[in-house]
Amino acid sequence: MLSYRVRWCLSLALWPMLLSGCAIGKHAVKVPKGDDAVIILASVTMPVPIDTIARHAWFAVREDGSERWRKIEYGSFGPGPLETNHGDVDVHAIWRGERAKKGIACLEKWRGAADIKSYLAYPGPNSNTFVDRLLRKCKLRASLPSTAIGKDYRGRFIGASWTSGGTGFQIETPLLGLRLGLTEGIEVHLLSLAFGIDLWPPALIVPFGQGRLGFADR
């Protein structure tokens, strides 16, 4: 048995790790080689003082036959399309080949319709609302991290939709929200902050750091 003092010291050492979030097995941030079509969904931490609770998402795209990368996002923040030397970047999903070609065409088609008419950093609509709308419109099955505040914005009063991951349903108000899905897990949203559990890959969903304590999302 560990003494009380040892347990206390260990708990103090673990708190910074918990507060920063911990996701095991994240996608490596690297530029896919070749000149085939690629879409990458990525996010980066926002500046201080909201760096521990908020992330900004975007798409990095490379069209078929090109070596040039560009971003599809609302506004402009953080690193370029895919800078591998930026330690705060997380990659959440990658599409290649024919799926990416169709996806890029869809993103270009609908980016205007998904644009934000009245921007509001909290609780939305904001840059993450823009990305979430495009994910669902183009059927790019992926989920943004829980700290991408604005991803769950569904209107000023109440709104409902399928999840961006495509296997669940959510209903949202500015005060409370609920998201249920086979791959999304169970999330309760309180003032746009997410709490819940993902069964596979297993993790606790938390409103800070990378948004997960456990294994990284697919």
Condensed to tens digits (0 to 9), the pLDDT of residues 118-161 reads 999 999 999 999 999 999 999 999 999 999 999 999 998 999 99
Phi first, then psi, for residue 195 (nearest 5°) are -135, 135
Q: Is 81's pLDDT higher than 90?
A: no
Mean pLDDT of the chain: 85
Q: Is 186's pLDDT higher than 90?
A: yes
Place of tokens 């997380």: 90
Task: Let me know how many helices (H) and strands (E) the chain has, helices first.
Answer: 3, 12
- C-alpha span between 92 and 133 (Å, rounded): 16
- Asked whether 91 and 37 are in contact (CB, 8 A), the reply is no
Q: How confident is the model at residue 20 (pLDDT cuts 50, 70, 90)?
A: very low
> Whole-model pTM?
0.86
User: Does the N-terminal peptide bond of residue 207 adopt cis geometry, omega within 30 degrees of 0?
Assistant: no
DSSP state of 210: T
Condensed to tens digits (0 to 9), the pLDDT of residues 82-129 reads 665 555 888 899 999 999 999 999 999 999 999 898 999 999 999 999
Q: What residues does each domain of the chain span?
A: 22-215
Burial of 161-177, coded b for 16+ CB within 10 Å and e otherwise, reads: bebbbbebebbbebeeb
Condensed to tens digits (0 to 9), the pLDDT of residues 55-80 reads 999 999 999 999 899 999 998 776 66
